[in-house]
A and B are shown apart, each in its own frame.
Chain A
Amino acid sequence: MSFLVEGCAMPFCKGCGHTHVIRKLNDALVQLGLRAEDVCLTTDIGCIGLADALFATPHTVHTTHGRSTAFATGIELADSILAGSKLKNVVLIGDGGAMIGLLHLVNAALLNVDVTVLLCNNFLFGMTGGQNSAFSPLEFITPTTPKGNIIPPIDLCKVLIDAHAGVVARKLSTDKDLTQTIAQAIAHPGFAVVEIVELCTEHGTTRNELSGTAIRGILEAHGQELGLLRSGGDREEFGSIYAKKFPRQPAADRPAASAPMQPRYESALRKKIGVIVAGSAGERIQSSAGIFIESAALAGLHCTQKNDNPVTQGSGFSLAEICVSPTEIYYTGIDRPDVVICVSNEGARELGEKGLFSRLTPSTTLILDSSLEKPETAAELYRLPLRSLCGGEKAAAAALAFYLQLSKIFPFPAFDDLLKQKYKNDRGIFPDQFYAAIRNMEYVPVGAG
């Protein structure tokens, strides 16, 4: 029995190690007693990428340069998690592709997907003219290292051992037991790699003193061991860990999406308004704005919210821009805000740098914490002791509560009840003194700033 195309001549140069690799891979698949339909060979670019046409019966996927392991990982993830885990995946990749796709090899090893990589290392890029690769030994002569290579070769086996690969071996293509090593790698239920060191008789041996013995010497000189370097790591294969962690849910048992809101308040708002809330990161600026629009939605209003902060999300300013409207909102920008709330210095600095305060007109309600300096502005200004009374983390919510009392665009309890619910505090999240002050409208505008 054979998986190879019957009577197929090997397309490789005379003496090329790829011929050995193909035959021994076939022998290993036969030895393992695998069904052809349960085998997927994923090939890379380069001479070894000609392997597809040599196999008659297994699935073959010929991919892009260096990416073969990534495609095989995707096939295996879907196979093991979603399709009953039937496939054995083998990747055929050269030393050129292995370096482009180093990340894919490392990640497949880290995941421990059931993929076996046969890395055919002939020290160079054979198909494109014999250029040096990341695997070329020191002093190796190639058209692109005419005076000898000066970059030490990578020891990919060591890299993949450090990435917890289960089976790692370095063999010569002429090794008599290569079939057994390949079979052992494929049989391993998890990631395995066999680096097969071979001769490129077209480019390698013509410029360098290379032979089976010489190759052993070269590897030894670079501290690259031959043989089975790691066998049978006991890590569980990724698909079975995943399936245990995230068991397949029958449709009926799936948790329903979050409960939809049913509007239960009336709104007095007649046109779209834009509200900007500014403060410091970590002081619940954006989440307070979020609770505000959620309560507005309970009053049947259409809302949008977008947030802004510096690149670091946990420091500096924090900004929320919200639109609230009785009709569908198309444009979500706020070019002329109806309300501006600012509760910290960092927020004030950000708005100041945007030139916002100076652009405001008397039709804008500007609510500032009383600790902040009075900006130059034409807006109607309210200064409230938000931070001192309610604390920094509730200052934004307090300002929005005040605005709601002032504007009455929707009933106060819509917002207040939601705050109580979110903060798990039935009595109300602000001090009684603040509730009383806004109920009695004790805060009055202090005129334009």
Chain B
Amino acid sequence: MIQLRTGNQMIAEGAVRAGCRFFAGYPITPASGIYRSMIDMLQQRGDCAVSAPDEISALAYCVGASMRGVKAMTATSGPGWALMIETVQYALMTETPVVIALVQRLGPSTGGATQGAQGDILLTEFCTSGGYTIPVLCPSTPLECYELSVLAFSWAELLRMPVIILTDKEVGMTTETVDYSRLPLLHAAERLQRLAPPRDGAPVHTYAYSAAGDVPEFMPVGGSMKVTATGSAHNKAGELKKNDAGTLDVLRHLEKKVRERKEGLVLVKRDFQPGADTLVVSFGITARTMREAVQASRRRGKKVSSLNILTLFPIPEKQLLQAAEKVSRVVIAEENFSGQYRSVIAALFKEKEIVGVNKIGSMITPEEIEEAIL
């Protein structure tokens, strides 16, 4: 059951598997493969895949479609993501589920269209005013692209918010043999919907929740219950109320609903070795290099553990701490020059030596990671 597939194609296949019925795209290397695949698959099914005139429209179309009650996705790279950030915040504020696949390339600005990079980590996570946690899933293989694409939809729908699939040119555009018999049978979650107004005739609020960590039941625009959606600071009824307690409560709720579900959300792949003194941490394309480097080091008699982070955000703090418990060195490998992910996890590792393996312009090689494994 072998197929030749790119990571981009597998993200699209995962999306369709997850029940995505709406895609709006705008071409950009290295993400165009997702656009092409979604056009092919959705139009063939009679679902909606359209070309947008720019990235802002692409995401706005998706958010509108999702408000109408349909699972929606778009795909882009760094320059397009920069344009989408306004609308990502809008989706977050209006509690609208949407999935965005961000296939990184070398930046800043238009950068290098055909060069891979892992340089958008912080730009992806810290794109909201107020600093809200946005789930960022980071696959490193075509199989993981499929799995995490389904998962991204599940979390977008369950949390009612934007979820990002973060890959790069190397994962997205490399064609690989994919063993379909290894594809798990996954079912994406559906958003929790309110189907009818309460019997007592009480008003139905668009953003109603009981506890602050609850996710409001979704009602589609066009359904029988009136929706009052807004990107401005609002109370549960969607009313603009400057700084009143109900409004500030909603703003806290937007973060709390993610934090409370964090332990169910985070995913890592562990490869621990008893007696290891070094832990290597990586993600995305570099996690594959890490795997090769760790195996080579072990063949040379070294003891080393590794951790592949599949959910960069929320940060899997417990899993990182547990992995690093018995080592004295933590090596963090990522394809950017400043150590972006290292900068947000380093504080976890008190009294440990932190080593960054960083590079721009081409993939980190196994030898470069091996050198850091003493």
Shortest Cβ distance from residue B211 to the other chain A in the assembled complex, whole angstroms: 26
Contact B63 A82 (CB under 8 A): no
Report 14 cross-chain contacts, Cβ distance below 8 Å, ordered by A residue: A36-B226, A37-B223, A62-B232, A64-B87, A70-B61, A70-B64, A74-B68, A77-B50, A82-B65, A86-B222, A104-B53, A304-B176, A330-B291, A333-B289
Q: A61-B94, A67-B86, A293-B4 are in contact. List 5 more A-B contacts (CB 8 A).
A: A77-B22, A78-B48, A78-B66, A106-B53, A107-B57
Counting CB contacts under 8 A, is A359 at the interface?
no
Contact B366 A331 (CB under 8 A): yes
Q: Which of A75, A255, A257 contacts B222 (CB 8 A)?
A: A75
How far is A78 from B225 in the complex, measured between Cα atoms in Å? 18
Assuming the contacts A74-B62, A82-B22, A308-B114, asked whether A242 and B170 have C-beta atoms less than 8 A apart, the reply is no
How far is A303 from B176 in the complex, measured between Cα atoms in Å? 6
Counting CB contacts under 8 A, is A59 at the interface?
yes
Set of chain B residues within 8 Å of A40, measured between Cβ atoms:
221-222
Counting CB contacts under 8 A, is B21 at the interface?
yes
Contact A74 B24 (CB under 8 A): yes
Counting CB contacts under 8 A, is A335 at the interface?
yes
Counting CB contacts under 8 A, is A423 at the interface?
no
Chain A: which residue is nearest B93 at the CB level?
A64
Counting CB contacts under 8 A, is B319 at the interface?
no
Q: Which of A81, A107, A243, A304 contacts B175 (CB 8 A)?
A: A304
Contact A78 B22 (CB under 8 A): yes
Contact A78 B363 (CB under 8 A): no
Most chain A beta carbons < 10 A, residue from B63, B221, B229, B240: B221
Set of chain B residues within 8 Å of A368, measured between Cβ atoms:
none
Q: Which of A36, A74, A260 contacts B64 (CB 8 A)?
A: A74
Assuming the contacts A82-B48, A254-B45, A293-B177, asked whether A332 and B170 have C-beta atoms less than 8 A apart, the reply is yes
Set of chain B residues within 8 Å of A245, measured between Cβ atoms:
43
Set of chain A residues within 8 Å of B363, measured between Cβ atoms:
331-333
Set of chain A residues within 8 Å of B244, measured between Cβ atoms:
none
Chain A: which residue is nearest B220 at the CB level?
A83
Contact B170 A67 (CB under 8 A): no
How far is A438 from B119 in the complex, measured between Cα atoms in Å? 47
Interface string of B39-74 (1 = CB under 8 A from A): 000011111101011101100111111111110100
Chain A: which residue is nearest B234 at the CB level?
A62
Assuming the contacts A78-B65, A255-B44, asked whether A261 and B3 have C-beta atoms less than 8 A apart, the reply is yes
Shortest Cβ distance from residue B218 to the other chain A in the assembled complex, whole angstroms: 13
Q: Interface residues of B toward A: which range?
A: 35 or more
Tally A-B pairs: CB < 8 A: 216
Contact A330 B4 (CB under 8 A): no
Contact A81 B48 (CB under 8 A): yes
Counting CB contacts under 8 A, is B292 at the interface?
yes
Q: Which of A71, A297, A331 contacts B365 (CB 8 A)?
A: A331
Chain B: which residue is nearest A258 at the CB level?
B3
Set of chain A residues within 8 Å of B72, measured between Cβ atoms:
74, 78
Contact B2 A75 (CB under 8 A): no
Set of chain A residues within 8 Å of B232, measured between Cβ atoms:
62
How far is A58 from B224 in the complex, measured between Cα atoms in Å? 10
Shortest Cβ distance from residue B204 to the other chain A in the assembled complex, whole angstroms: 12
Set of chain B residues within 8 Å of A38, measured between Cβ atoms:
222
Counting CB contacts under 8 A, is B202 at the interface?
no
Shortest Cβ distance from residue B227 to the other chain A in the assembled complex, whole angstroms: 5
How far is A82 from B43 in the complex, measured between Cα atoms in Å? 12
Contact A70 B230 (CB under 8 A): no
Counting CB contacts under 8 A, is A27 at the interface?
no
Contact B61 A77 (CB under 8 A): yes
Contact B57 A70 (CB under 8 A): yes
How far is A40 from B173 in the complex, measured between Cα atoms in Å? 40
Scan residues 238-257 of chain B and give those whose CB is less than 8 A from a CB of chain A.
238-240
Counting CB contacts under 8 A, is B228 at the interface?
yes
Q: What is the predominant secondary structure among interface residues of chain A facing chain B? A: mixed
Assuming the contacts A246-B46, A331-B292, asked whether A78 and B64 have C-beta atoms less than 8 A apart, the reply is yes
Set of chain A residues within 8 Å of B50, measured between Cβ atoms:
77, 111
Contact B227 A61 (CB under 8 A): yes
Assuming the contacts A38-B222, A53-B240, asked whether A67 and B87 have C-beta atoms less than 8 A apart, the reply is yes
Assuming the contacts A61-B229, A262-B2, A294-B4, asked whether A83 and B173 have C-beta atoms less than 8 A apart, the reply is no
Set of chain B residues within 8 Å of A246, measured between Cβ atoms:
43-44, 46
Counting CB contacts under 8 A, is A87 at the interface?
yes
Contact A82 B114 (CB under 8 A): no
How far is A58 from B363 in the complex, measured between Cα atoms in Å? 53
Contact B48 A332 (CB under 8 A): no
Shortest Cβ distance from residue A74 to the other chain B in the assembled complex, whole angstroms: 2
Counting CB contacts under 8 A, is A223 at the interface?
no
Chain A: which residue is nearest B116 at the CB level?
A306
Chain A: which residue is nearest B57 at the CB level?
A70
Q: Which of B57, B94, B180, B225 contacts A260 (CB 8 A)?
A: B180
Contact B1 A262 (CB under 8 A): yes
Set of chain A residues within 8 Å of B90, measured between Cβ atoms:
63-64, 67
Set of chain A residues within 8 Å of B174, measured between Cβ atoms:
304-306, 332
How far is A70 from B56 in the complex, measured between Cα atoms in Å? 8
Counting CB contacts under 8 A, is B36 at the interface?
no
How far is A38 from B68 in the complex, measured between Cα atoms in Å? 12
Shortest Cβ distance from residue A384 to the other chain B in the assembled complex, whole angstroms: 26
Counting CB contacts under 8 A, is A52 at the interface?
yes
Contact B177 A306 (CB under 8 A): no
How far is A133 from B210 in the complex, measured between Cα atoms in Å? 44
Q: Which 9 A-B pairs have the closest CB atoms?
A: A74-B64, A248-B46, A70-B60, A78-B65, A74-B61, A62-B230, A78-B68, A75-B64, A330-B288
Contact B288 A332 (CB under 8 A): yes
Counting CB contacts under 8 A, is A128 at the interface?
no
Q: Which of A64, A243, A260 contacts B231 (CB 8 A)?
A: A64
Interface string of A285-322 (1 = CB under 8 A from B): 00000100110010001111111110100000000000
Shortest Cβ distance from residue A305 to the other chain B in the assembled complex, whole angstroms: 4
Set of chain A residues within 8 Å of B21, measured between Cβ atoms:
82
Counting CB contacts under 8 A, is B113 at the interface?
yes
Assuming the contacts A61-B227, A70-B60, A261-B2, asked whether A83 and B175 have C-beta atoms less than 8 A apart, the reply is no
Contact A79 B222 (CB under 8 A): yes
Counting CB contacts under 8 A, is A400 at the interface?
no
Q: Which of B53, B64, B114 contacts A77 (CB 8 A)?
A: B64
Contact A37 B222 (CB under 8 A): yes
Chain B: which residue is nearest A261 at the CB level?
B2
Counting CB contacts under 8 A, is B338 at the interface?
no
Interface string of B338-373 (1 = CB under 8 A from A): 000000000000000000000000110111000000
Chain B: which residue is nearest A320 at the CB level?
B175
Set of chain B residues within 8 Å of A333, measured between Cβ atoms:
289, 362-363, 365
Shortest Cβ distance from residue B329 to the other chain A in the assembled complex, whole angstroms: 22
Contact A82 B1 (CB under 8 A): no
Contact B60 A71 (CB under 8 A): yes
Set of chain B residues within 8 Å of A61, measured between Cβ atoms:
64, 67, 94, 221, 227, 229-230
Assuming the contacts A305-B175, A330-B289, A331-B366, asked whether A71 and B64 have C-beta atoms less than 8 A apart, the reply is yes
Set of chain B residues within 8 Å of A60, measured between Cβ atoms:
227-230, 238
How far is A104 from B285 in the complex, measured between Cα atoms in Å? 36
Counting CB contacts under 8 A, is A263 at the interface?
yes
Set of chain B residues within 8 Å of A297, measured between Cβ atoms:
2, 4, 177
Contact A331 B4 (CB under 8 A): no
Assuming the contacts A74-B63, A78-B70, A294-B4, asked whether A59 and B45 have C-beta atoms less than 8 A apart, the reply is no
Shortest Cβ distance from residue A383 to the other chain B in the assembled complex, whole angstroms: 30
